[in-house]
Amino acid sequence: MWKFVQGLATNRLTQALAGTAAAATLMVAGVSTADAQVTHQQSGDSDYHVVAQGDTMWDLSGRYYGDSYEWPRMWSYNAHITNPHWIYPGDIVYLRDDAGGSGAAQPGQQQANNNQAGAGEPMPQGMYLPLGGYITKDEVQYVGRIVASRKEANMLAEHDTAWVGWGEGAYSDAEKEEIEKEERETIANPGEVQKGDRFAVVREVGTLTNDDGEVIAHKYVVLGGVVVTKVSGTDEEGNKKYYDEVKVTQSWQEIYRGDLLIPYERQLKVVKQSKAETDEVAKVIDTLQPGNMFGEHSYVFLDKGAADGVRMGNRFFAYQRYEGIHLGVDRPLDKKVPWTRVGQLLVLDVREHYSTALVIDSKRELIIGDRLEMYNGY
């Protein structure tokens, strides 16, 4: 039996992910080709567009890319837009990956991962979906921590700046006196940090335990991303004279002082349906959003991962065995009642032992513990 110790959740993340998932589900199901498409091509070399009254990402994609169905590509370059349906006059919409710096690459690899559409090379095809969070068997390895900020508010968001400490310098001297060593997070030395390096901001929000109460997995929410804007020098002993400064480039949720950094991993996944190479049975063990029941557009976690043959883009069918009405009798369900297919899930992210999936179809409410089946060749 799986048990989950819940941390926190915010309405902002739920709304943003729900909006994204709704658009993605339409793409999975297919959209009528009878919809009008704008074919006006981009004029000039501008790498951004200022939103005017009546603009939509659908129309802008048709104007600049020649294909309105490329709106997920445009959205992937604009992490500051949490819902593609909500853009307002005066907003900046970047047209290329390197325009606003929000389509972040891993440190030292920004150029290699930049979109090359401007050079005539095609963009990866698929659905662009924010990951939001994940479950891992082992704790993630933190490399930094947000120590302070000049902002006179508790919460940090996009465009705010903060000061970050790395490794042993991730806690101030005052914090080291106030917080016992065993209560502090273990933070590794990331090596030489350079201006332009990017990191993800994460927070552990819960754990999964087995029947014996042993922690078997850790649940993390990705809050956003930061880029290093100023690097401090070192003293004679090689210690930082000051904290390095970072700028928040993405914020899926509110970020606080004390939140932790890990090496950057792009959170806007390019997901393309792929055929399974094996049969597999799994189950839903948790959800990204709080609650025990969920449906379409929800993000869930599965108890199978790469070690079990699961790959990004695979699909699982959800099954339930249930009686349509409550009989008022406290007894287990008759095992002769057959399984009923009640939904379908698309795998977005795969770790070694766990996966994150999006519910793309549900005939009734799904619940934690539901049976999932993946079929070879589908």
Residue 300 has pLDDT above 80, yes or no: yes
Residue 136 has pLDDT above 70, yes or no: yes
Instruction: Reduce the DSSP state of residue 142 to 3 states and report it.
Output: strand
Residue 84: Cβ-neighbour burial (10 angstroms; 0-12, 13-18, 19+):
buried
Calpha distance 330→333 (Å, rounded): 9
Whole-number pLDDT of residue 10: 41
Q: How many CB atoms lie within 10 A of CB 296?
A: 17
Whole-number pLDDT of residue 112: 33
User: Which strand (E) or helix (H) includes residue 25?
Assistant: helix 11-29
Mean pLDDT for all residues in the chain: 79
**pLDDT tens track for 230-246:** 999 888 887 888 999 99
- The DSSP output letter for 187 is B
Composition of the chain by helix, strand, coil, percent to 5: 15, 35, 50
Whole-number pLDDT of residue 116: 35
* More confidently predicted of 328 and 132: 132
- The DSSP output letter for 63 is H
Strand partners, 225: 200, 250
DSSP output for 245-275: EEEEEEESS-EETT-EEEE----EEEE----
Calpha distance 288→135 (Å, rounded): 10
Residue 374 has pLDDT above 50, yes or no: yes
Whole-number pLDDT of residue 138: 86
Q: Which domains does the chain have, with CATH numbers?
A: 36-125 (3.10.350.10), 133-269 (no CATH), 273-374 (2.40.10)
Calpha distance 148→174 (Å, rounded): 13
Residue 38 has pLDDT above 80, yes or no: no
Its pTM stands at: 0.64
CA dihedral 187, 191, 197, 199 (to 10 degrees): -20
**pLDDT tens track for 144-183:** 999 999 999 999 999 999 999 999 889 988 898 899 988 8
User: Which strand (E) or helix (H) includes residue 220?
Assistant: strand 215-230
The dihedral through the CA atoms of 165, 168, 173, 177 has a sign that is positive
Calpha distance 101→78 (Å, rounded): 9
Cβ-contact 282, 304 below 8 angstroms: yes
Q: Please name the amino acid found at residue 24.
A: A
**pLDDT tens track for 273-297:** 889 999 999 999 999 888 889 999 8
Q: At a CB cut-off of 8 Å and minimum separation 6, what does 102 contact?
A: 77, 78, 79, 80, 94, 249, 250
Whole-number pLDDT of residue 181: 87
Q: At a CB cut-off of 8 Å and minimum separation 6, what does 246 contact?
A: 146, 161, 162, 163, 164, 199, 226, 227, 228, 229
Whole-number pLDDT of residue 2: 52
Q: Average the pLDDT over 80-102 and give the result.
A: 66
Whole-number pLDDT of residue 163: 97
Whole-number pLDDT of residue 151: 96
pLDDT band of 17, cuts 50, 70, 90: low
**pLDDT tens track for 211-225:** 888 999 999 999 999
Instruction: Reduce the DSSP state of residue 352 to 3 states and report it.
Output: coil
Whole-number pLDDT of residue 45: 54
- The DSSP output letter for 376 is B
Cβ-contact 348, 360 below 8 angstroms: no
Instruction: Reduce the DSSP state of residue 337 to 3 states and report it.
Output: coil
Percent of the chain with pLDDT over 90: 39
Q: Average the pLDDT over 357-365 and give the result.
A: 94
Q: What angle do CA 158, 56, 63 make, to 5 degrees?
A: 110
Residue 89: Cβ-neighbour burial (10 angstroms; 0-12, 13-18, 19+):
exposed
User: Which strand (E) or helix (H) includes residue 136?
Assistant: strand 133-136
* More confidently predicted of 73 and 228: 228
Calpha distance 156→162 (Å, rounded): 8
